[in-house]
Structure 1
Amino acid sequence: MRSQPSVTRRAGGERPWRVRLRDPVTGLLFVLPMLVLFVVFRFLPLAGSVGMSFTDYRINGSWDPVGLDNYQRLLSDPVFLDSLQVTLIYAAIYVPLTVGVALGTALLLNTVVFATGLFRGVLFLPYVTSFVLAGVIWRWVYEFDGLINGLLAKVGFEPIGFLQESSLVLPSLAVVAAWRGFGYSMLILIAGLKSIPDSFLEAARVDGASTWQRFRFVVLPHLRPVLFFVLVIETIAAFQVFDTIYVMTGGGPVRASYSLVYALFDQGFEFFDFGYAATIGIALFVIILVISLIQRKLLDRETT
C-alpha cells in the first residue's frame, strides 16, 4: 500500500511556509562558504579602509581622527593627480589593445576546425605566467642590448629606450600586460561566440551579407553582454596595475609610469601614511565604479 506524503498542502494547493522556505535556505547553505570568504576578505577590509581614511593611522597601531583632511589633501596633492593621469593614459592604451587582441583571436579561433584545444592552450599560456616573471622577461626584451634593439641594430637602426623614454614607457608596459592578460578575455569571448546560433549566421550569409555585415549586425549584438564583462574586468585590471611597473620601471622614468596603485604602495609601505594610503584606495574604488557604470550606460544605449 502506498504511503501518504508527509507534507500536506493547504487549500488551493499552497505549500506550508516551512516547505517554501526550504529551497532558499538550502541554496544559501551552498553559497555560505563563498559568502563568508567574501565578507571576511573583501567587505570587512573595504569597510576598514573607509574608516582608516578618516584617521591618521600609524604603524604602531595608534591613530587620531582627522575627518576629511585626507580627502582634502588628496584633491590638492600633485603626486596623486599625476598618478591619476598616468593611470588614465595607461588604461586608454591597455584596454582597447587587450580587448581588440582578445576579440581578434577569439574570432580567428572560432573558425578553426582542427587542433582548437592546442591553439587555445598556447594562446592562454601567458595568462598563467606571473606578472613578475613576465616583467623580468620583457625587461630583457626592451633593454638597449635586449632582443628588440638587437634586431634593430642588425638592420641599421639606433636602439630605442622603451623603458627610459617617458613617451614610450606606458605603451611598452601596456603591450606586456596585454600579452600576459588577453588569454582570459579571449576564452570568455570564445564562449560568447559559441552561444550564437549557427542558423543566424547562415541566414545572414544566404541573404548576401558580407563578413563585416555578419559581424556588425549578428555577432556583435549577441556578443555585447560578454563584451561588457570583458571591458569591465580589463578596465579594473588597468587601474590596478602595479606588479609590472614595480618590476620593470619602479614608477619611472621621472614618474612617467607612477600609477595610482604605486602611489598607494608608496604612501602605505614606504612612508607608512596608512590613512592617506587608504584614502587613495577608496578614490581608486570610486573611479573604477564610475567608469564601469559609464561603460554599461554606453553599451545599453547602443543596444537600444
Structure 2
Amino acid sequence: MTSLRSPAPRAAPCGVRTTPKEVPCPLSRNALTPPGPGAGRTPGARPGSVCSSSCPLSSSSSPSASAPASRACCSASPTTPSARTRTSPGLDNFDRLVHDPLFWSALKVTVVYTVMAVPVTIAASLGLALLTRRAFRGSKLFRSVFFLPVVTSLILASTVFLWIFSSEGPWSKVMGLVGLPDQSWLADSALVLPALAIVGVWSRCGYGMLILLARLQEVPRELEEAALVDGAGPWKRFRYIVAPQLKGSFFFLAVIETTASFQVFDAVYMMTGGGPANASYSLVFQLYDAGFKYFDLGYASAIGCVLFVLTLVVAAVQRLVIGKES
C-alpha cells in the first residue's frame, strides 16, 4: 500500500546555510482601500489656501477659465516648503517682481505699445469698414484682401517686415525721399516700438473691420436718407447717426485689441528679440525668458498673473462704461 505522507526534505549540501522561506501575509481589507484625501500630507499644510485666495476667478468664473488661472497662481505662490529652508516661499515671486527693474521696464514697454497700437487699429478698422460698407463691384474682394492679414501667420509676416524696416528696406528708402534719416527703425530705441505697432495694426485691423462692418449693416438707411434730405453733410451724418450706433462695438474692440496688445510676442521675438537695449522687451517676452530660457516657472507664473489682472481690469472698465451708457 502506497504511503500518503509527503517525502522528507532533502538535506542541504555541506557548507550551505539554509533559511526558511517567508510566507507572504495575505492582504487585509485595509490594504486594498485607497488612501484618503489627507494621506501623506504634512500636518497643518493647506495647499489650497493660497490658491483660493490669490486667484480672482477661482469662485466666480467657469471651470475652463478658473482652472488655468488657479494653476498659475499656485505656481506663482507655492505653499510647499522648500527642501533647503523648510519654510513656505509664499509670495516671494511677487516680491521679486515688485523689486525687479526689468519687470517695470517691460510693463512700460507693453503699455506704450498698447497706447500706440490700439487707437490706430480701431481708427483703421473704422476707415476700412466705411470704405467697404456700400456694395459695389469688387467690394467682396476688397473685404477679403483687407481681412487676409488676420489669417496670415504673424511669424511669416514678421520676417517680411524685418526686411521692410531694415536699413536697406523700402521703408527706409521712402523715409529718405521725404527728408527723414535713412536708417533701420528696428535698430533705433525710439523707433522700434512704432515699427512694431505698425505690424500690429496691419495684422489686427481686418478683424476690427469685420466687427464694425457687421454693425454698420444694421444701421437703418432711412435715418441717413432723412438727414441727407435735411441737408446734413457726411460728417454730421456719421457723428449723429452712425457713431452712436457703434459705441458698443467700439468698446468691444477696445477690450479685444488691448488684450491682444498686452500679449504681443511673435513680432518682438522674430524682429527685435527684445532689443535694442530692452526697448521692445515686453511682459510676455519676459514671461517667455523666465519660463523657457531660465526655467523659473514660479516667476513666469507671477508675470502671467499680472497680465491676467491687467486684462481683468480692462474688461471691468469696459463693462462699467457700457453699463453707464445703457
Give TM-score scaled by structure 2 length: 0.74
Q: 2:293 aligns with which of 251, 270, 293?
A: 270
Structure number with the bigger relative contact order (C-alpha 8 A, sep ≥ 6) is: 1
State the match for 1:33 in structure 2: none
- Pick aligned residue for 2:172 from 149, 154, 158: 149
2:195 counterpart (155, 172, 194): 172
Give the 3-state SS of the residue equivalent to 2:132 in structure 1. helix
Residues 173-222 of structure 1: CA deviation (Å, up to 9, x unaligned): 00011111110110111001001111121222222222111111111111
Change (3 A) 1:64 1:204: farther
User: Is the counterpart of residue 99 in structure 1 residue 122 in structure 2?
Assistant: yes
Q: Which has the larger radius of gyration?
A: 2
Q: Over residues 207-264 of structure 1, what are the superposed CA-to-partner deviations in whole Å (9 max), with x where a residue is unaligned? A: 2222111111111111111111111111111000000000000000000000010011
Equivalence map 1:89-238=2 (5 Å): 89-152=112-175, 158-238=181-261
Q: Corresponding residue for 2:19?
A: none
The worse-fitting range, judged by mean Cα deviation, of 251-260 and 106-115 is 106-115
Structure 1 runs not aligned, ≥5 long: 1-37, 58-62
Deviations 1:249-298 (A, max 9, x none): 00000000000100111111111110111011011110111123224434
Q: CA deviation at 1:155?
A: 7.4
Closer/same/farther in 2, CA of residues 104 and 155 from structure 1, 3 Å limit: closer
Q: Higher helix share goes to which structure?
A: 1
Residue among 270, 288, 297 paired with 2:311: 288
CA 1:157 to 1:236, structure 2 compared with 1: closer, same or farther past 3 Å?
closer
Taking a change above 3 Å as real, the CA distance of residues 284 and 260 of structure 1, as seen in their structure-2 partners, is same
Quick one: which of 245, 255, 260 aligns to 2:283? 260
Q: Contact 1:55 / 1:64 at 8 angstroms: preserved in 2? A: no
TM-score, structure 1 length as denominator?
0.80
Q: How many residues align?
A: 261
2:298 maps to amino acid: G
Q: Contact 2:117/2:261 (CA < 8 Å) preserved in 1?
A: yes
Q: Identity rate of aligned residues, in percent?
A: 44
- Amino acid paired to 2:256: I
Aligned to 2:263: 240
Q: Residue 45 of structure 1 corresponds to which residue in structure 2? A: 68
**Alignment CA distance shift 1:51-1:156 (3 Å):** closer
Q: Aligned with 1:241: secondary structure?
A: coil
Equivalent-residue separation in structure 1 for 2:314 and 2:147 (angstroms): 27
SS of equivalent residue, structure 1 residue 277: helix
3-state SS, counterpart of residue 145 of structure 1 = coil
Where structure 2 has 5 or more consecutive residues not aligned to the other structure, the ranges are: 1-60, 81-85
Structure 2 Cα separation of the partners of residues 118 and 101 of structure 1: 18
Aligned to 2:33: none
Code of the residue aligned with 1:89 in structure 2: it is V
1:136 maps to amino acid: T
Conserved in 1, the CA contact under 8 Å of 2:189 and 2:276? yes
Q: What letter corresponds to residue 232 of structure 2 in structure 1?
A: A
CA–CA separation in structure 1 for the residues paired with 2:227 and 2:68: 51
Q: Whole-Å Cα distance in 2 between the matches of residues 56 and 142 of structure 1?
A: 48
